[in-house]
Amino acid sequence: MWVGMTSGKLGVDFIKTVERTIYPRDRGGNWQFRSAFLLGSSEKVYRSVEFLIDFFRSTPGFRYVSVFLVLFGVGDRTKISVAAFGAALVILFNVAYGVMNARKTRISRGQR
């Protein structure tokens, strides 16, 4: 294994796998935190996009592979986009629900 990692193609493939794991989390999370705080803090905004949120939440992420193949073609960009989309949905839902369900005392303590 050491020879394959240092002199063979195994090391290059390992680095590519790590990149494909880190990029989706970063790309999916960057804009989702801001969106989730907006959704969680304003019930009016959340209610206006509730149908879309429930639609995407109830549809498995692998169902969007064909859409991303059409948009981005075959390659790393498609793989990273599918994973980023899945990560973005998870981050969006968890942060938005966390902000909505935060106790009022915790919110008011942070604003002193």
The rounded distance, in Å, linking the Cα atoms of 106 and 11 is 47
Q: What share of the chain is helix, strand, coil (3-state, %, to 5)?
A: 85, 0, 15
Q: How does pLDDT run across 16-43, given as a tens digit for each residue?
A: 888 877 877 676 666 777 778 778 887 7
Cα–Cα dist 20/106, whole Å: 37
- For 58, the token pair is 């109830």
pLDDT of residue 108: 63
The whole-angstrom separation of Cα 92 and Cα 61 is 14
- End-to-end Cα separation, the chain, in angstroms: 56
Q: Which DSSP letter does residue 64 get?
A: G
Residue 60 reports pLDDT greater than 80: no
Quickly count: other Cβ atoms within 10 Å of residue 112's Cβ.
4
Query: What pTM did the predictor assign?
Result: 0.62
Q: Give pLDDT, residue 11.
A: 84
pLDDT tens column, 63-100: 778 888 888 888 878 887 787 777 777 778 888 888 88
pLDDT of 28: 60
pLDDT value of position 69: 85
